[in-house]
Amino acid sequence: MPLMFLLAGMSARYALEKRSYRQFVVERTERLLLPFLFGTLAFCPVLSYMGDKNNFNWQGSFFEHYKTFFTKLTDLTGFDGGFCIGQFWFLFFLFLISIAGVGLVKLSNLIFKNRHRKCSLPFPLLFFFLLPLPFLYDFLSVGGKSFAEYMYVFLIGFCILSEDAMIEKAAECRYVTLVIGVMAGIINCWMFIWSEKQFGIINIIAKAVCEWFMLLSLIGIGKKSLNFKGKISTYMSQRSFIFFSFHFIWIVLFQYWLKSLLGGNTLLMYLIPIVFAYLATFICTEIAIRFPALCFLLGTKPLCKVSN
């Protein structure tokens, strides 16, 4: 998820080169806030209903559960049958962070007159940008997702890693940062999952090192190896928002439908529902992309406009 917010910050910088701040806000409202509201109202009641039925033996109908969905406010996961926002938390966070982050940059430009200033930091100094991360994980955190962490990463993408020179340097050092990131990730997982001791702050520091160096590595790898356009990438980029909206609901439904058949086998309960869910998601995506009104609600362009 930090990578998604970093890329969002970079793309916001590029978007503002062609749009005014007002146009940017309007576009983000259509692309993020509207799909968040529609997805929460159209898809999340199903997730909440399944959670209540599976975990608390809800006996009423799906439509009767709508009242519970809108009146039971707990942890927003939906596992207890209460109100939830499912995977759409990402759209909501991204909307708030995009508007607030770009607003902060705009305010900074007005105060310090640095609108056209280019970033000229030596690349090794980027390593020190991981230092605030351990202090941000629990700050402004909702459901284990830190608004402060993602805002910080978004601003780094917007202000620093959107510069061509910095991206080139990340590409040159991609294997070094990859090795450091992977090693820190292994250490972090060992301390968090397999060790019988509590490492506290050391565990958090390992997580921050892993996160930051993997971000730098993946940006560099993306520059060198993923900077191309093909039929598959074009196809998926046109449908990514719709796919995102549908995928989770089908995963939950197929896991519920197949749980008795699969006998509680953890591996099979993961793999088989995923296969069926993704097939169903692709079918729904191909249907939805042909309806302009539905595409508008899901924050994407209909197939006819994409083709043009």
pLDDT at 126: 82
> Looking at residues 148-158, what average pLDDT do you find?
92
Whether residue 16 is found in the same domain as residue 139: yes
> Looking at residues 221-230, what average pLDDT do you find?
85
Whether residue 242 is found in the same domain as residue 276: yes
Whether residue 187 is found in the same domain as residue 62: no
pLDDT at 120: 63
Whether residue 199 is found in the same domain as residue 243: no
Check pLDDT > 90 for residue 231. Answer: no
> Looking at residues 274-302, what average pLDDT do you find?
92
pLDDT at 72: 86
Between 107 and 4, the higher pLDDT residue: 4
Q: Which residues contact 270 (CB under 8 A, 6 or more apart)?
A: none
Q: Pick the last residue of a domain from 115, 145, 162.
A: 162
Whether residue 48 is found in the same domain as residue 117: yes
Q: Pick the last residue of a domain from 115, 135, 162.
A: 162
> Looking at residues 153-162, what average pLDDT do you find?
90
pLDDT at 33: 94
The pTM score is 0.85
pLDDT at 35: 93
Whether residue 144 is found in the same domain as residue 197: no
Whether residue 279 is found in the same domain as residue 136: no
Joined together, the tokens standing for residue 71 give 């009146």
User: How far is 292 from 308, CA to CA, in rounded Å?
Assistant: 14
Q: Which residues contact 48 (CB under 8 A, 6 or more apart)?
A: 65, 68, 69, 78, 81, 82, 83, 84
Q: Pick the last residue of a domain from 143, 162, 181.
A: 162
Each residue of 175-197: pLDDT tens digit? 999 999 999 999 888 887 777 67
User: How far is 152 from 159, CA to CA, in rounded Å?
Assistant: 11
Whether residue 79 is found in the same domain as residue 150: yes
By percentage, how much of the chain surpasses pLDDT 90?
36
User: How far is 103 from 221, CA to CA, in rounded Å?
Assistant: 30
Whether residue 38 is found in the same domain as residue 185: no
Whether residue 212 is found in the same domain as residue 192: yes
Between 106 and 136, the higher pLDDT residue: 136
- The H or E element that residue 146 is part of is strand 145-146
pLDDT at 115: 54
Q: Which residues contact 1 (CB under 8 A, 6 or more apart)?
A: 90, 145, 150
Q: What is the CA radius of gyration of the chain?
A: 21
pLDDT at 238: 87
By percentage, how much of the chain surpasses pLDDT 70?
95
Check pLDDT > 60 for residue 119. Answer: no
- Mean residue pLDDT of the chain comes to 86
User: How far is 268 from 306, CA to CA, in rounded Å?
Assistant: 38
pLDDT at 278: 94
Determine the 3-state secondary structure of 118 from DSSP. Answer: coil
Each residue of 295-305: pLDDT tens digit? 999 989 887 65
> Looking at residues 272-278, what average pLDDT do you find?
93
The structural domain count of the chain equals: 3
Range of 263's domain? 231-307
pLDDT at 55: 82
Whether residue 92 is found in the same domain as residue 186: no
> Looking at residues 75-100, what average pLDDT do you find?
88
Measured N-to-C along each axis, helices 2-15 and 147-159 cross at an angle, to the nearest 10 degrees, of: 40
pLDDT at 81: 84
pLDDT at 284: 94
Check pLDDT > 60 for residue 258. Answer: yes
Whether residue 10 is found in the same domain as residue 150: yes
Between 264 and 96, the higher pLDDT residue: 96
Each residue of 12-54: pLDDT tens digit? 988 888 888 889 899 999 999 999 999 999 999 988 888 888 8
φ, ψ of residue 253 to 5 degrees: the values are -65, -45
Joined together, the tokens standing for residue 161 give 């890693």
Between 87 and 305, the higher pLDDT residue: 87
Q: How confident is the model at residue 283 (pLDDT cuts 50, 70, 90)?
A: very high
User: How far is 12 from 9, CA to CA, in rounded Å?
Assistant: 5
